[in-house]
Structure 1
Amino acid sequence: MAERRRGAALEKALLDAAWDELAERGYAGFTMDAVVRRAGTSPPVLYRRWPDRAALVRAAVVHALREQRLDVPDTGSLREDVLTLMREINATRVPFITAMSVHLAGYYQETGDAPLPDPLATGRNEALDVLFGRAAERGEIAPGRLTDRVRSLPFDLLRHEILTTFAPVPDHVLEEIVDTVFLPLVR
């Protein structure tokens, strides 16, 4: 007899099952019943935590992004830190980014909400705080110029390139984003 899951272990199992369902069937084929079956639990267990499929999908996306969080590089240079992080995203996240965009297209149509969560929910803001905090301490940037949009700009442009081509972005494009668009804005 399997041990009964509770608390964080149960929630992780439910979110893993939800993410697997989403990745396999997309939002259009995603059902709460399928998640219940995949997780080996009962509907009340699932509905106690998430009232509907949109709420569960958002939670599963946040969970997947947290599980796949990358380490913050510390190369001693803002340029190299941003490029290192972009290269890691480029090397490891292209399938994830493209799958999310394809599988979540129906989410926005149904809910009117963006399927990608606020960066605070996934820990991305904290990682960028560390990266840009180090750069400010080294005197490489003017902290007052780091608006939320400017902070996310190189990563937004990377995501745009990936979603335009559905392929990894050439390194010279990453360098162009950092050198000609991003760094002039923060110095």
Structure 2
Amino acid sequence: MSTSKSVKTRRRGAELEQAIIEVAWSLLLKHGYSGLTMEAVASAAHTSRSVLARRWRNKADLAVAAIQQQLVKHSVEPADRGDVRAELLDYLDHLGSYAPTLLTVFSLLSSDAFRETYASANDLRRALTTGKTSQLALILRRAVDRQEIDPAKLVAPVDTLLIDLIRHHVLMNRKAPPKKLCAAWVDTIFLPLVRQH
């Protein structure tokens, strides 16, 4: 009589890395940066501390990888609606879904231990955005092509104003801004600054 045994195969490569990052994100959300340890991640992901060390030099880099995965997972290329206002409102609505991720980023920046690796918000921003296309930049470029806005007016800090407003709202209120407020930002602040005249 033949018997069959179920053999548990070990995860490797991209599958293992994905599992580790998901565990790291879960621990980061539940316990914050101080509660995120390489040992806890290794245990929950059913792997070893040495496996983590081969992929990430420290837990700060693992935390950043977990945030990057969330950004990629929820990333949606903005649809061309033929109207900059509609596209900006879609963008802000989608960006609001990142509120938990933004709050996690803010908490990392308040950690002295994390800042030993990423000393400033700009260091972290570069790590998260290098090589990625800005959705807002894409929307604004299309609006310029449609002659809806004046490219000469897209200067700092106007070009990132909407992102700055939503970051501030999430930081102060710990939640995404309501649609009515987003519409006010677009209609009474941003578009009057950049419209073609």
Instruction: Give the structure-2-normalised TM-score.
Output: 0.79
**Contact 1:22/1:103 (8 A) holds in 2:** no
Q: Cα gap change, 1:57/1:96 in structure 2, threshold over 3 Å: closer, same or farther?
A: closer
Gap runs ≥5 in structure 2: 1-6
- The answer on 1:62 being equivalent to 2:68 is yes
Q: Counterparts of 1:60 and 1:98 in 2: how far apart (Å)?
A: 14
Q: Counterparts of 1:10 and 1:163 in 2: how far apart (Å)?
A: 33
- The answer on 1:30 being equivalent to 2:36 is yes
Counterpart of 1:173 (choices 167, 173, 181) is 181
Counterpart of 1:120 (choices 105, 119, 129) is 129
**CA-CA distance at 1:96 after TM superposition:** 3.6
- The answer on 1:184 being equivalent to 2:189 is no
**CA-CA distance at 1:75 after TM superposition:** 1.9
Instruction: Give the structure-1-normalised TM-score.
Output: 0.83
Deviations 1:17-75 (A, max 9, x none): 21111111100111011111111111121101111111211222112211121331322
Counterpart of 2:18 (choices 8, 12, 33) is 12
Instruction: Please report the RMSD computed on the Cα atoms of aligned residues, expressed in angstroms.
Output: 2.5
Deviations 1:73-98 (A, max 9, x none): 322111111111112333x3334433
**Contact 1:61/1:117 (8 A) holds in 2:** no
Query: Which has the larger Rg?
Result: 2
Deviations 1:103-151 (A, max 9, x none): 65325764233384335348352x2333222212211122243346433
- The answer on 1:73 being equivalent to 2:79 is yes
Q: How many residues align?
A: 185
- The answer on 1:101 being equivalent to 2:106 is yes
Q: Percent identity?
A: 35
